[in-house]
Amino acid sequence: MPSIFTRIIDGEIPGRFLWKDDRCVSFLDVRPLAPGHALVIPRVEVDEWTDLPADTAAHLMTVAHTVGRAQKKVLAPARIGLMIAGFEVPHVHVHVVPMDSMAALDFAQANPTPDPAELDALQDRIVAALDRHRAG
């Protein structure tokens, strides 16, 4: 059975995409740890990041870096945090989290009901920053 991430990637479940290429995607988390919290996910369904081919793992980090720079421009947090935990969904995903303290990485603090309009607005702002980055 495909993971929930594969179902989002395949369009079966809606997602607020920030990035799509032939190797990975990035979209906003539906239970954000902070506004703008994004996931970077390989298209190939692999459970543990240590089982990814090294070039795929490196590509995920490159995309996470690019998304993080856009988040930094749009949201101006103190830091952009990264985390790979892998317990929630058996499909590798890198959390890219705008944060002002370490407390932002506490999953107990995730927002289970974010405002859809706020998520839409954040998606638009981050995608615009990514488009400016791609344009040079």
CATH of the domain at 84: 3.30.428.10
Number of domains comprising the chain: 1
Point out the catalytic residue in the list 59, 91, 93, 95: 93
Contact 54, 60 (CB under 8 A): no
What's the confidence (pLDDT) of residue 68?
98
User: Would you list the DSSP string of 22-33?
Assistant: SSEEEEE-SS-S
Taking each helix axis from N to C end, the angle separating 116-135 and 54-75, rounded to the nearest 10 degrees, works out to 110
Q: Does the predicted model carry a pTM greater than 0.85?
A: yes
93 given a catalytic annotation: yes
Amino acid identity at 32: P
pLDDT in tens, 19-68: 999 999 999 999 999 999 999 999 999 999 999 999 999 999 999 999 99
Amino acid identity at 105: L
pLDDT in tens, 123-132: 999 999 998 8
What is the domain extent for residue 42?
Answer: 4-135
